[in-house]
């Protein structure tokens, strides 16, 4: 027994000694590592700065001819980058009323100007959230020693949201010209002088090729009137993740065959913002989207493509990231014959409370202009989640979309009211009933109820000749938490909206998928 | 006539109908409430530092807000009487100051004023000159840029006259230029001689400080080289010195100190030797040790990629014809020397002597030693060199002696 105890003590002493040594060695090595990490030679030239792009307004160089010296491509890139950074850091400075980082991109004397304004603003609790949408640069002068450059930046579109004590005072969209004198100091191109100039030029709008158009209440595709009979589509196995790893064009083809055979002519699909690569759209994803659209076209189906799915940050400073996202997708598909409309965002009115209505609406408004600029050929709509919201931005969109999950008996009145208010084509973009009746959910609708619901709705639709897209083709086995949250009863409901059940069998409602 | 009358009646009806609709529609259109403000201030153009007050006709007593945006940033000010005093720091900044008036959450007025740089104020001259050094000859130039600013650091308007001056040796020049795109600038080309160029500028009686730009000599011309040595013997001990002539560019300027000159030496075996020197006061020198055997050299100097020299031919005489080699009776101790130089003096310490050991016509070892007091001793230790018949070759200062059939015990 004593021997056993001695062994325990021996073991404890030895192991605690070893642990102690390990801790000491680790401490010494950490200290040495820390002492060795600083003052990396490359940091003097700030060559290895983290270059993740945070501010990407559209920049075009109009002209670099100047009397001083011809400019090198690399210097142009440097000037452009630092000039944009100057805008970015000053935007942040005016938003937070803090000067951090600003001194990298403004010389000491120029910084003084920003400093006084910020002092004044912060003393009165004014905060300005702003962004620039585009910059058109002309090089006026570049010095022989490559240390001084003067650029003119014309037609700069700026958005500014002015808050005082969190109350929105102004929401301003302005176009100006600027001239900047920049100096190369410590490897940064810094603004030395900045002068705002007058700008009275008109916006130039791109002309549509007329492939899709709206004349009063009617939609025309290729000069023929088009009545939307459609469905919101996700493949059964990959709901809310259509273009992910399990993407399978063959399954999608089969689904399109079925949709066409059911007498429908339109699908609505969703492009997730993050999964598509945010401001740097992944080429493979874009290829998949094009493949789906090609396939839809081959099946004589038109697509309403909903962008910015799962996007939720409408803050002014980050708008430009979404603009680049839209630019890459939309401009590469601007001549696609399978697209009927770009739906900018699904149910953005649900974000009003959390993100501020003015931010969301401002973002949508500018996004409409952005998309029109890159693709004037397709229609634009916004997928509002209810009838009340759908009048927002009705002048800006081409067709007005709304979703209807309320009581079917109120539909006639709601629709009539909307029809009076809006003189553009109205799209019933989502409607449906979940057949989620089960032992645990006795108040849920049965498949029979669902069939009756669709039958009734189709009757109303054909009476009033409403453009419609129902929700949705399939029942789903899994619904991601990001869609309706984690609550199981919500998820459960979302799984049973389909016309086809999870075993691939057509439900009773399938008979009423179209009229 | 009848037809005319019909026309008149018709036109009358149409007119009546039109007026009827007009009146009808005016009843329908609501007269808008007082939703527009008017600006009482008529001045649109100001000078930096002026007091700017924007006075609007407004419903009194209700707070109105004015958003201001200038070159560097924006702000909001408020007033209840419609009289807005623009903050000082906005008044001082050149550029367009745009503003938007809002009252009761309605935008009532949008406009802008122009603020120019302050005239008749103290002027500051920001000067940028570069590159700071240029090459003589009139092809290279430096750029002199001046940004004249007012007392509030606003660049003066276009077409401000800037006088550029520069002085070089006994040349003094002056030229007026006009600002455009915020700056006035002038290129100053180098002169034929090297030296210091002084620059200055002036805007309406305000003078800048003096700045200077160095004019460096242009590229050196081809040149001559010389050698000097104590004697012509290949003793492996003396040093030969190579010098260039005074290096000059095409305009007779001394070449800059520090220019690297490389001397390349090719010996009779075709081996290349190299020595370098930098230019000091126009001349570069480089040294090289004498060979330790009879040899002839070709020497040529280069400034890489720029210019080259003539070729020097040098020959070195052998210092000795023969030397003694003593071998001990057991054949294991070999003493070379005394090695005598050209005046029969002992050769300076450090001359290389090589012993090649052959056994049955096969080289089995080479020993190299340097001389001490004119002598070199080799020991063949028993354990390494077994007894037998050997052949020794001794090589010193280019002379080789062959000793055959040496019996080592």
**Given an 8 Å threshold on Cβ–Cβ distance, is A178 in contact with B100?**
no
User: Mean of the pLDDT values across residues B200-204?
Assistant: 94
The CATH number of the structural domain formed by A212-512 is 3.20.20.80
Which residues from chain B sit within 8 angstroms of residue A118, using beta carbons?
73
The domain A58-197 is placed in CATH, from the list 3.40.50.1440, 3.40.1830.10, 3.10.450.240, 3.40.50.670, at: 3.10.450.240
Q: Does residue B13 belong to any structural domain of this protein?
A: no
pLDDT band, residue A39 (cuts 50/70/90): low
pLDDT band, residue B228 (cuts 50/70/90): very high
**Given an 8 Å threshold on Cβ–Cβ distance, is B74 in contact with A130?**
yes
Nearest to A162 among B72, B76, B112 (CB): B76
How far, in Å, CA of B126 to CA of B183, rounded? 10
Q: Does residue B33 belong to any structural domain of this protein?
A: no
Q: Kindly report the nearest CA distance between residue A47 and chain B, in angstroms.
A: 24
**Interface predicted TM-score (ipTM):** 0.82
Q: What is the pLDDT of residues A181-216, one digit of tens each?
A: 999 999 999 999 999 998 888 878 888 999 999 998
Among all residues of chain A, which has the CA nearest to that of B142? A144
- Which pLDDT score, from 0 to 100, does residue B16 have? 52
Mutate which of A120, A140, A158, A195 to test chain B, going by most B C-beta atoms within 10 A? A195
Q: Does residue B25 belong to any structural domain of this protein?
A: no
Alpha carbon A253 to its chain's center: 27
Among all residues of chain B, which has the CA nearest to that of A120? B75
**B residues 156-215 lying closer than 8 A (beta carbon) to A:** 181-183, 185, 187
**Given an 8 Å threshold on Cβ–Cβ distance, is B73 in contact with A113?**
yes
Residue B127's nearest CA partner among B91, B163, B77 is B163
Among all residues of chain B, which has the CA nearest to that of A67? B185
- Which pLDDT score, from 0 to 100, does residue B32 have? 42
**Given an 8 Å threshold on Cβ–Cβ distance, is A143 in contact with B100?**
no
Q: Does residue B29 belong to any structural domain of this protein?
A: no
Q: What is the CA radius of gyration of chain B?
A: 48
Mutate which of A172, A191, A358 to test chain B, going by most B C-beta atoms within 10 A? A172
Q: Is the alpha carbon torsion for A230, A231, A234, A239 positive or negative?
A: positive
Bridge partners for B174 per DSSP: B165
Q: What is the pLDDT of residues A450-481, one digit of tens each?
A: 999 999 999 999 999 999 999 999 999 888 88
- Which pLDDT score, from 0 to 100, does residue B30 have? 41
Q: Does residue B16 belong to any structural domain of this protein?
A: no
A221 close to A212: Cβ distance less than 8 angstroms = yes
Per DSSP, chain A holds a count of helices (H) and strands (E) of: 13, 16
Mean pLDDT computed over every residue of chain B: 88
Q: Would you say residue B229 has pLDDT above 60?
A: yes
Looking at the fold, whether B133 and B206 belong to one and the same domain comes out as yes
How far, in Å, CA of A196 to CA of A175, rounded? 11
Looking at the fold, whether B235 and B208 belong to one and the same domain comes out as no
3-state secondary structure A31-50: HHHHHHHCCCHHHHCCCCCC
**Given an 8 Å threshold on Cβ–Cβ distance, is B67 in contact with A170?**
yes
Looking at the fold, whether B253 and B290 belong to one and the same domain comes out as yes
Mean pLDDT computed over every residue of chain A: 92
Q: Is B143 on the interface with A (CB under 8 A)?
A: yes
* Number of domains, chain B: 4
| Helix pair angle (A319-332, A283-298), 10° resolution | 40
CATH of the domain at B301: 2.60.40.10
Nearest to B76 among A164, A192, A196 (CB): A164
Conformation bin of residue A263: beta by default, left when phi > 0, alpha when psi is -120 to 50: left
Question: Of the residues B80, B97, B116, which one is the last residue of a structural domain?
Answer: B116
Q: Would you say residue A41 has pLDDT above 70?
A: no
Domain housing B337: 325-408
Q: Is B306 on the interface with A (CB under 8 A)?
A: no
How far, in Å, CA of A81 to CA of A121, rounded? 28
Query: What strands lie across the sheet with A167-185, from one edge to the other?
Result: A58-63, A126-142, A148-164, A167-185, A188-197
Question: Of the residues B251, B286, B316, which one is the last residue of a structural domain?
Answer: B316
Stretch(es) of chain A classified as CATH 3.20.20.80: 212-512
Q: Name the residue with higher pLDDT: A330 or A485.
A: A330
Q: What is the pLDDT of residues A239-281, one digit of tens each?
A: 999 999 999 999 999 999 999 999 999 999 999 999 999 999 9
**Given an 8 Å threshold on Cβ–Cβ distance, is B112 in contact with A118?**
no
Q: Does residue B230 belong to any structural domain of this protein?
A: yes
Q: Would you say residue A344 has pLDDT above 60?
A: yes
Looking at the fold, whether B272 and B302 belong to one and the same domain comes out as yes
**Given an 8 Å threshold on Cβ–Cβ distance, is A143 in contact with B155?**
no
User: Mean of the pLDDT values across residues B90-104?
Assistant: 93
Which residues from chain B sit within 8 angstroms of residue A181, using beta carbons?
147, 155, 182-183
pLDDT band, residue B31 (cuts 50/70/90): very low
User: Mean of the pLDDT values across residues B30-50?
Assistant: 77
**Given an 8 Å threshold on Cβ–Cβ distance, is A126 in contact with B75?**
yes
């Amino acid at each position: 027994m004593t021997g056993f105890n001695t062994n325990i003590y021996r073991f404890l002493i030895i192991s605690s000694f070893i642990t102690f040594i390990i801790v000491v060695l680790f401490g010494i090595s950490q200290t040495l590592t820390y002492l060795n990490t600083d003052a990396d030679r490359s940091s003097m030239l700030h060559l290895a700065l983290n270059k993740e792009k945070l501010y990407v307004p559209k920049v075009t160089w109009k002209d670099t001819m100047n009397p001083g010296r011809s400019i090198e491509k690399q210097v142009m890139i440097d000037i452009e980058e630092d000039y944009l950074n100057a805008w970015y850091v000053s935007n942040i400075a005016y938003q937070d009323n803090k000067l951090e980082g600003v001194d990298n991109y403004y010389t000491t004397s120029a910084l003084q100007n920003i400093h006084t304004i910020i002092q004044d603003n912060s003393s009165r609790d004014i905060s300005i959230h702003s962004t620039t949408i585009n910059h058109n640069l002309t090089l006026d002068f570049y010095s022989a020693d490559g240390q001084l450059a003067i650029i003119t930046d014309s037609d700069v579109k700026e958005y500014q949201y002015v808050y005082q004590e969190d109350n929105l005072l102004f929401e301003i969209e302005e176009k100006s010209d600027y001239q900047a004198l920049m100096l190369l100091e410590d490897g940064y191109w810094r603004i030395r002088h900045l002068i705002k100039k007058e700008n009275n030029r008109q916006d130039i709008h791109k002309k549509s090729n007329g492939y899709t158009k709206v004349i009063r209440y009617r939609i025309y595709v290729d000069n023929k009137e088009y009545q939307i009979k459609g469905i919101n589509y996700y493949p059964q196995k990959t709901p809310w993740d259509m273009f992910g790893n399990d993407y399978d064009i063959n399954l999608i083809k089969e689904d399109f065959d079925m949709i066409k055979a059911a007498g429908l002519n339109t699908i609505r699909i969703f492009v997730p913002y993050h999964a598509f690569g945010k401001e740097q759209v992944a080429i493979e994803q874009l290829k998949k989207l094009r493949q789906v659209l090609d396939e839809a076209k081959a099946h004589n189906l038109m697509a309403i493509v909903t962008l910015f799915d799962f996007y939720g940050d409408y803050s002014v400073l980050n708008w430009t990231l979404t603009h680049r996202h839209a630019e890459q997708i939309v401009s590469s598909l601007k001549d696609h014959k399978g697209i009927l409309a770009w739906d900018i965002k699904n149910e953005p009115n649900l974000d009003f409370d959390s993100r501020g209505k003015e931010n969301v609406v401002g973002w949508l408004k500018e996004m409409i202009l952005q998309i029109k600029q890159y693709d004037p050929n397709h229609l634009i709509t916004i997928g509002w989640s209810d009838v009340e919201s759908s009048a927002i931005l009705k002048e800006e969109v081409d067709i007005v979309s709304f979703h209807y999950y309320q009581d079917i008996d109120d539909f006639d009145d709601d629709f009539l009211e909307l029809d009076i208010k809006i003189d553009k084509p109205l799209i019933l973009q989502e409607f449906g009933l979940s057949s989620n009746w089960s032992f645990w959910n006795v108040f849920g609708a049965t498949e029979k109820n669902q069939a009756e619901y669709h039958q009734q709705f189709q009757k109303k639709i054909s009476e009033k000749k409403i453009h419609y897209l129902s929700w949705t083709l399939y029942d789903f086995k899994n619904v991601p938490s990001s869609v309706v949250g984690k609550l199981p009863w919500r998820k459960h409901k979302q799984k049973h909206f389909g016309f086809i059940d999870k075993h691939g069998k057509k439900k009773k409602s399938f008979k009423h998928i179209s009229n | 006539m009848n037809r005319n009358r019909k026309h008149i009646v018709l036109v009358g009806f149409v007119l009546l109908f039109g007026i009827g609709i007009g009146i009808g529609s005016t009843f329908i259109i609501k007269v808008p409430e007082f939703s527009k403000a008017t600006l009482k201030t008529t001045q649109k153009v100001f000078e930096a530092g002026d007091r700017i007050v924007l006075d609007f006709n407004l419903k009194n007593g209700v707070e109105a807000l004015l958003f201001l945006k200038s070159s560097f940033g924006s702000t909001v000010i408020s007033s209840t009487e419609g009289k807005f005093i623009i903050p000082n720091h906005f008044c001082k900044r050149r550029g367009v100051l745009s503003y938007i008036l809002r009252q009761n959450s309605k935008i009532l007025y949008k406009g802008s004023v122009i603020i120019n740089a302050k005239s008749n104020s103290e002027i500051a001259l920001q000067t940028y000159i570069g590159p700071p050094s240029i090459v003589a000859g009139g092809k290279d130039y430096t750029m002199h840029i001046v940004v004249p600013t007012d007392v509030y650091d606003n660049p003066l308007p276009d077409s401000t006259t800037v006088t550029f001056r520069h002085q070089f040796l006994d040349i003094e020049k002056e030229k007026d230029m006009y600002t455009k795109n915020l700056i006035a600038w002038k290129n100053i080309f180098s002169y034929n001689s090297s030296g210091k160029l002084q620059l200055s500028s002036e805007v309406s009686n305000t003078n800048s400080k003096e700045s200077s730009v160095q004019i460096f000599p242009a590229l050196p011309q081809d040149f001559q080289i010389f050698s000097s040595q104590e004697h012509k013997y290949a003793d492996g001990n003396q040093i030969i010195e190579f010098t260039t002539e005074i290096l000059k560019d095409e305009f007779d300027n001394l070449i800059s100190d520090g220019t690297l000159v490389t001397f390349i030496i090719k010996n009779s075996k075709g081996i290349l030797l190299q020595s370098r020197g930098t230019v000091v006061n126009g001349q570069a020198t480089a040294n090289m040790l004498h060979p330790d055997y009879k040899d002839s050299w070709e020497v040529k100097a280069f400034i890489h990629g720029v210019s080259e020299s003539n070729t020097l031919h040098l020959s070195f005489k052998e210092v000795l014809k023969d030397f003694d080699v003593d071998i001990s009776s057991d054949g294991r101790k070999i003493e070379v020397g005394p090695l005598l130089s050209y005046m029969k003096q002992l050769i300076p310490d450090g001359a290389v002597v090589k012993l090649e050991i052959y056994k049955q016509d096969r080289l089995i070892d080479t020993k190299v030693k340097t001389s001490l007091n004119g002598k070199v001793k080799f020991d063949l230790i028993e354990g390494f060199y077994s007894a037998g018949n050997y052949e020794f070759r001794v090589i010193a200062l280019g002379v080789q002696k062959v000793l055959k059939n040496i019996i080592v015990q």
